[in-house]
Amino acid sequence: QVQLVESGGGLVQAGGSLRLSCAASGRTFSGSVMGWFRQAPGKEREFVARISWSGSSTYYADSIKGRFTISRDNAENTVYLQMNSLKPEDTAVYYCNAVLAGNVPLFDSWGQGTQVTVSS
């Protein structure tokens, strides 16, 4: 059973920072490439960032490159997203999932997500 629990979202002014966390069940997390996705109002869910199992390899969407950093703690089955220099267009619900080639989410089942709202 897939268990993904996102947290850490909130309301922040443009230029501010937030750190998101995703706690995953061991079966979901172990050995998996993990990533973050987001869905803005009226838009399709989109890929944001991914990180390899070892943490040595990361990849980011162009829209957030240089501002967001993904990391993971395998001992805690947790993946993080540090978001700096936030912009109003970063407003979305953020989700985590395991990631396949092509930055496609592995699981059809998603957590509840965490809302990030950036005011101008």
pLDDT digits (tens, 9 = 90+) for 19-66: 999 999 877 788 899 999 999 999 999 999 999 999 999 999 999 999
Average pLDDT over residues 77-95: 98
pLDDT one-digit tens code per residue, 54-85: 999 999 999 999 999 999 999 999 999 999 99
In whole angstroms, give the CA distance from residue 67 to residue 18: 11
In whole angstroms, give the CA distance from residue 17 to residue 85: 6
In whole angstroms, give the CA distance from residue 57 to residue 108: 24
Q: Residue 118: how many CA atoms within 13 Å on its side-chain side?
A: 18
Average pLDDT over residues 8-25: 97
In whole angstroms, give the CA distance from residue 18 to residue 12: 8
Q: Residue 62 has which token pair?
A: 């162009």
